[in-house]
């Protein structure tokens, strides 16, 4: 892949000036090119971190970049470099899977304990799937089917009370087809009528399972709590 000359020059400046990842350093942003370099470095670093790469040899990176810019002979063959990168990517993937599995096991255990206790409440009902719900206010309008499009207001929290999403916070309702959301929502909203407000306690397997949205505070296996107001059913 060919990079523009400007990008290579700026990236070279970044790599030769940066410290070991994890250490704080203040950039000199007195010029436009300094700010460009900082911006590229920041976005590049966050992209690496999102892929699980939190350790990298900046010396090795700068040396490889220098050799590439100078069109010098590489210290590794192209095949060796491909093997190194592929092996490293596989190691990161395995480590991420192990962490996710550990997180999921911890969340499932905590979630099961929460749901067992929550099911004992007089105002909580449990469906055959394990979905738990509480009626805050009943509605008098139409009820959706699995294929209906619905308009709702909602607030989502974890079992520790931390909020991860809210249409109320955004100041606008959400509209979506009911068969394109997590199964806990698909099942739960069919129990409601327009004008109703329910609270749902959704087990991990009826939520995101071990695959929560990227960048979310939701951990694999998490129980999700939603307060949902069904505003309109759009057939």
Is residue 202 part of the annotated active site? The answer reads no
Distance, in Å, from the CA atom of 98 to the CA atom of 75, rounded to the nearest integer, reads 33
Task: Provide the CATH number for the domain around residue 172.
Answer: 3.10.50.40
pTM of the shown model: 0.64
- DSSP code string of 186-205: HHHHTT--TT-EEEEEE-GG
Is residue 165 part of the annotated active site? The answer reads yes
Is residue 69 part of the annotated active site? The answer reads no
In this predicted model, what pLDDT tens digit does every residue of 162-213 receive, in sequence order?
A: 999 999 999 999 999 999 999 999 999 999 999 999 999 999 999 998 888 8
Mark whether 176 and 116 lie in a shared domain. Answer: yes
Instruction: Give the closest residue to 92 by CA, choosing from 42, 35, 54.
Output: 54
Mark whether 131 and 180 lie in a shared domain. Answer: yes
Is residue 226 part of the annotated active site? The answer reads yes
Mark whether 29 and 108 lie in a shared domain. Answer: no
Supply the angle between the helices 32-50 and 5-17 in degrees, to the nearest 10.
80
Active-site residue (options: 34, 103, 165, 232): 165
Q: How many CB atoms lie within 10 A of CB 152?
A: 21
> Residue 21 belongs to what domain range?
5-75
Is residue 42 part of the annotated active site? The answer reads no
Distance of alpha carbon 75 from its chain centroid, rounded?
38
Mark whether 113 and 47 lie in a shared domain. Answer: no
Domains in the chain, number: 2
Active-site residue (options: 9, 69, 159, 182): 182
Mark whether 51 and 105 lie in a shared domain. Answer: no
84 located within any domain: no
Is residue 61 part of the annotated active site? The answer reads no
In this predicted model, what pLDDT tens digit does every residue of 4-53 receive, in sequence order?
A: 444 444 444 444 444 444 455 677 788 887 787 678 778 777 777 777 67
Active-site residue (options: 114, 133, 200, 226): 226
């Amino acid at each position: 892949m060919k990079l523009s000359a400007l990008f290579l020059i700026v990236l070279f400046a970044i790599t030769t000036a940066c410290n070991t990842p994890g250490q704080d350093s203040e950039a000199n942003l007195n010029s436009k090119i300094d700010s460009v370099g900082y911006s590229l470095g920041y976005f590049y670093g966050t992209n690496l971190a999102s892929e699980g790469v939190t350790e990298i040899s900046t010396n090795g990176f700068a040396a490889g970049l220098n050799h590439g810019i100078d069109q010098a002979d590489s210290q590794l063959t192209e095949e060796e470099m491909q093997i190194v990168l592929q092996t490293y990517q596989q190691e990161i993937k395995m480590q991420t899977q192990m962490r996710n599995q550990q997180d999921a096991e911890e969340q499932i255990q905590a979630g099961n304990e929460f749901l067992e206790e929550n099911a004992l409440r007089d105002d909580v009902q449990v469906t055959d799937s394990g979905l738990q719900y509480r009626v805050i206010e009943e509605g008098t309008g139409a009820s959706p089917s699995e294929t209906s499009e619905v308009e709702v207001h909602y607030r989502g929290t974890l079992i520790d009370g931390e909020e991860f999403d809210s249409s109320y916070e955004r100041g606008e309702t959400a509209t979506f087809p009911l068969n394109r959301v997590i199964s806990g929502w698909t099942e739960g909203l069919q129990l409601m009528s327009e004008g109703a407000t329910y609270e749902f306690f959704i087990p991990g397997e009826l939520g995101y399972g071990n695959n929560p949205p990227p960048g979310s505070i939701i951990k694999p296996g998490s129980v999700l709590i939603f307060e949902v107001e069904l505003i309109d059913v759009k057939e």
